[in-house]
């Protein structure tokens, strides 16, 4: 704690106050004194520099436990150490439940008081740092944008978060679906519980059931120990099923049963386990079309789609691009220890003129790269263009006619090329990151890029 800490000593015996004040002054603390409950409350209200209260139980006017209750209501982070000449276990427990950090019984040694105060102040400082860190994380992961579409998203989150309903989060890749899920969890009554996210597209089909429901030792080759699945890990909290459209059909039936019965059964076990989990699902696919095509279960779709939150692509909210870019630039400079830079005058127009197929994720990556590579204290349009993967020409009509191909082999090659091109855009041309996210060996990715002229 920077500077001297100020301790408020509250006791109706003047001799006790003077003795404790002398010991605290000698140990480097500043002190204030109060002889009764009302005076103590007035001191806490009028002097924000008070860092800790040493509070007697038996006080004239208002007793110490009531003073403690009022202090914690007004300044919950202010540590309070209770003292009493008539202490008993029941009173001590009650004081701690009301928010006291410690309970000391008279007569006490000064060393014991000093140790308790030292520990209480260190604990309060740690709590303050944790609060500041949480606020910083919330700032870094906030849903940014002043456009009407984003205002509607935030309003929907505020309405839905406190409830227990299942939410389907839709939107293109890079729009921030997992961020919405995190906000829904954090603003819910389950916010202090676990938040578990599982990417259905990234799990090999043969391991998907184990990832969701867990397994017992020996359930399959390689199962050398028992392991809880995502449902058990999220018990009491929230489970996000990301890329839910990629979940294999046989597993969709088992997922539906788990949601209906609120129980799971590990692979290799005959027992079921009750789970209390709120389900959020996210996808960039058209699940309604998949239901019509019989590639996604209709009953599971309606179980997941109680409320829908749709994230608009960045191209549909161009007014947000420049403010998002400024935020990402500041964050990139801070995170990478770079002197603060700002967007040059020509950068805004350039940013607004891009299509951003990778959405917010792509914009963030571009600004981070530009922050690192730019010279001077400004990031100009040329700096941004230099770190952006160019979009190949698509012909006069803009979009490829996928049904114009005569051979299946040509169709496959064209779609693979387009897939790789878009993934490169999403990852700002980073080969290593692209290979990891599409689960392809880097050497194979290089070969494909050479084949399709994307290098």
Per-residue confidence (pLDDT) for residue 91, from 0 to 100 = 80
Structurally, how many domains does the chain consist of?
A: 4
Shared-domain flag, residues 51 and 162:
no
Share of the chain above pLDDT 70, in %: 91
Shared-domain flag, residues 302 and 176:
yes
H or E segment and range at residue 178: helix 177-186
Shared-domain flag, residues 305 and 324:
no
Cβ contacts of 246 within 8 Å, gap of 6 or more: 200, 201, 285
Q: How far is the CA of 81 from the CAs of 113, 148, 411, in angstroms?
A: 9, 50, 74
Q: Which two tokens stand for residue 243?
A: 């890329």
Q: Whole-prediction pTM value?
A: 0.59
Per-residue confidence (pLDDT) for residue 244, from 0 to 100 = 95
Last residue of a domain, one of 137, 163, 196: 137
Distance of alpha carbon 263 from alpha carbon 271, whole angstroms: 10
Shared-domain flag, residues 161 and 271:
yes
Question: Can you give the CATH number for the domain in which 355 is found?
Answer: 1.10.8.60
Shared-domain flag, residues 217 and 351:
no
Shared-domain flag, residues 12 and 118:
yes
On whether residue 430 sits in a domain, the answer given is yes
Shared-domain flag, residues 111 and 252:
no
Q: State the residue range of the domain holding 408.
A: 402-452
Distance of alpha carbon 303 from alpha carbon 160, whole angstroms: 16
Question: Can you give the CATH number for the domain in which 406 is found?
Answer: 1.10.10
Shared-domain flag, residues 18 and 113:
yes
User: Per residue in 247-290, pLDDT tens?
Assistant: 999 999 999 999 999 999 999 999 999 999 999 999 999 999 99
User: Per residue in 381-410, pLDDT tens?
Assistant: 999 988 875 544 343 334 555 666 666 776
On whether residue 394 sits in a domain, the answer given is no
Which phi and psi angles does 372 have, rounded to 5°?
A: -75, -40
Q: Is the pLDDT of residue 455 over 80?
A: no
Q: Which two tokens stand for residue 86?
A: 């008539």
Last residue of a domain, one of 137, 165, 196: 137
- What single-letter DSSP state applies at residue 391? P
User: Per residue in 183-204, pLDDT tens?
Assistant: 999 899 999 899 999 999 888 8
Shared-domain flag, residues 441 and 342:
no
Answer for the pair 156, 311: CB distance below 8 angstroms, yes or no: no
Shared-domain flag, residues 131 and 152:
no
Q: Beta strand pairing status for 273-274 and 30-34? A: unpaired
Shared-domain flag, residues 361 and 250:
no
On whether residue 189 sits in a domain, the answer given is yes
- What single-letter DSSP state applies at residue 219? S
Answer for the pair 342, 380: CB distance below 8 angstroms, yes or no: no
On whether residue 44 sits in a domain, the answer given is yes
Distance of alpha carbon 424 from alpha carbon 328, whole angstroms: 20
| Beta bridge pairs of residue 15 | none
Shared-domain flag, residues 167 and 129:
no
On whether residue 231 sits in a domain, the answer given is yes
On whether residue 63 sits in a domain, the answer given is yes
Average of per-residue pLDDT across 88-105: 84
Q: Is the pLDDT of residue 145 over 90?
A: no
On whether residue 422 sits in a domain, the answer given is yes
Sign of the CA dihedral running 15, 18, 21, 27 = negative
């Amino acid at each position: 704690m920077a500077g001297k800490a100020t301790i408020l000593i509250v006791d109706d015996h003047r001799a006790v106050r003077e003795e404790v004040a002398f010991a605290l002054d000698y140990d480097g603390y500043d002190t204030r004194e109060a002889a009764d409950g009302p005076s103590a409350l007035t001191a806490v209200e009028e002097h924000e520099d008070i860092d800790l209260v040493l509070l007697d139980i038996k006080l004239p006017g208002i007793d110490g436990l009531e003073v403690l209750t009022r202090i914690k209501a007004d300044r919950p982070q202010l540590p309070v150490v209770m003292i009493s000449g008539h202490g008993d276990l029941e009173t001590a427990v009650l004081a701690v439940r009301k928010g006291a950090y410690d309970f000391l019984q008279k007569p006490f040694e000064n060393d014991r008081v000093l140790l308790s105060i030292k520990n209480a102040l260190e604990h309060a400082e740690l709590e303050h740092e944790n609060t500041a860190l949480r606020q910083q994380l919330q700032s870094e992961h906030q849903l940014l944008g002043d456009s009407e579409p984003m205002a509607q998203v935030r309003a929907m989150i505020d309405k839905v978060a406190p409830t227990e309903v299942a939410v389907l989060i839709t939107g293109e890749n890079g729009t921030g679906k997992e961020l919405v899920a995190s906000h829904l969890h954090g603003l819910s009554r389950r916010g202090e519980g676990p938040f578990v996210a599982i990417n259905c597209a990234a799990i090999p089909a043969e391991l998907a059931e184990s990832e969701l429901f867990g397994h017992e030792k020996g359930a399959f080759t390689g199962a050398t120990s028992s392991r809880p699945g995502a449902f058990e890990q999220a018990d009491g909290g929230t489970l996000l099923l990301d890329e839910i459209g990629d979940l294999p059909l046989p597993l969709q039936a088992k997922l539906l049963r788990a949601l209906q019965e609120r129980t799971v059964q590990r692979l290799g076990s005959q027992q079921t386990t009750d789970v209390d989990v709120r389900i959020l699902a996210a996808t960039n696919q058209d699940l309604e079309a998949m239901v019509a095509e019989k590639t996604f279960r209709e009953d599971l779709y309606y179980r997941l789609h109680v409320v829908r939150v749709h994230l608009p692509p960045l191209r549909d909210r161009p007014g947000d691009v420049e403010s998002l870019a400024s935020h990402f630039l500041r964050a990139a400079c801070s995170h990478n220890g770079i002197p603060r830079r700002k967007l040059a005058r020509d950068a805004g127009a350039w940013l607004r003129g891009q299509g951003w197929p990778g959405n917010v994720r792509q914009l963030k990556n571009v600004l981070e790269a530009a922050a690192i590579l730019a010279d001077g204290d400004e990031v100009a349009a040329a700096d941004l263009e230099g770190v952006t993967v160019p979009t190949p020409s698509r012909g006069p009509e803009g979009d490829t006619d996928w049904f114009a191909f005569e051979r299946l082999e040509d169709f496959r090659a064209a779609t693979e090329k387009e897939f790789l091109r878009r993934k490169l855009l999403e990852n700002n041309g980073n080969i290593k990151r692209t290979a990891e996210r599409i689960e392809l060996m880097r050497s194979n990715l290089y070969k494909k890029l050479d084949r399709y002229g994307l290098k």
